[in-house]
């Protein structure tokens, strides 16, 4: 599977490393958005994600849709 965002935005082909849990689009490391499942925290807390209860992977489009309210 290739990154859907790379194809859609720039027409390039990059191998996908993750899949959006919302729309199922393949995502490369540049386009993947990882969210904490429990709380919405701002970025840059310097905290490792290893001890978090869960994570959710979304694409930039789904992330924007969710935070547009
Ligand atoms: Zn990409
Ligand atoms: Zn998506």
State pLDDT tens for residues 27-52. 999 999 998 766 555 666 665 555 55
CB distance 33 to 66 below 8 Å: no
What's the 38 CA to ligand 2 centre distance in angstroms? 19
What's the 52 CA to ligand 2 centre distance in angstroms? 22
**DSSP 8-state secondary structure symbol assigned to residue 2:** B
**Looking at the CA of 59, which ligand is closest?**
2
Biggest CA pair distance of the chain: 37
**Of the ranges 2-6, 30-34, 53-57, which one carries the lowest mean pLDDT score?**
53-57
**Looking at the CA of 60, which ligand is closest?**
2
What DSSP letter does each residue of 8-59 carry, written as one string?
Answer: HHH----B-SEE-TTT--EE-TTT-EEEESS----S-----GGGSS-EEEE-
């Amino acid at each position: 599977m290739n990154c859907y965002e790379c194809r859609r935005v720039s027409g390039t082909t990059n191998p996908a490393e993750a899949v959006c849990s919302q729309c199922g689009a393949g995502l490369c490391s540049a386009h993947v958005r990882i969210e904490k499942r429990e709380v919405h925290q701002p970025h840059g807390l310097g905290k490792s994600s290893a001890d978090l209860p869960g994570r959710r992977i979304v694409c930039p489009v789904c992330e924007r849709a969710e935070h547009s309210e």
